[in-house]
Amino acid sequence: MANLTSAINVNVDTQIKEEATTILKDLGLNMSTFINMALVQVVKRNGVPFEVVNPKPSKDLLEALKEVDEMINNPEKYPRYNNWEDLKESLLSDD
């Protein structure tokens, strides 16, 4: 049985293609080989062979962002220091 191949034409952002080509070359692969590998994995796994998600910020990050927002919007509530010595003195004080 002959091994038949089909061509695929894909539009890709030029910079992404250049960066991916460089990385693949460092790995000893070319774009065609990588795409074939990826498609074989799609078939074997019956799905995309990597996680495809919209990243969600963690609870800790959301809390930190809220705290920063509070500091920006209410700077009078938070002390300011003009130099390292003043900050260090404040941190080491018992107040």
Given pLDDT bands bounded at 50, 70 and 90, which one contains residue 1?
low
pLDDT digits (tens, 9 = 90+) for 23-45: 999 999 999 999 999 999 999 99
94 pLDDT exceeds 80? no
The set of residues, in sequence order, having a beta carbon less than 8 Å from that of 2 and lying 6+ positions away, is none
Residue-wise over 80-92: b if at least 16 C-beta within 10 A, else e? eeeeeeeeeeeee
* DSSP-based three-state secondary structure for 50: coil
pLDDT of residue 82: 92
Percent of the chain with pLDDT strictly greater than 70: 97
The model's pTM: 0.54
d(CA 26, CA 30): 9
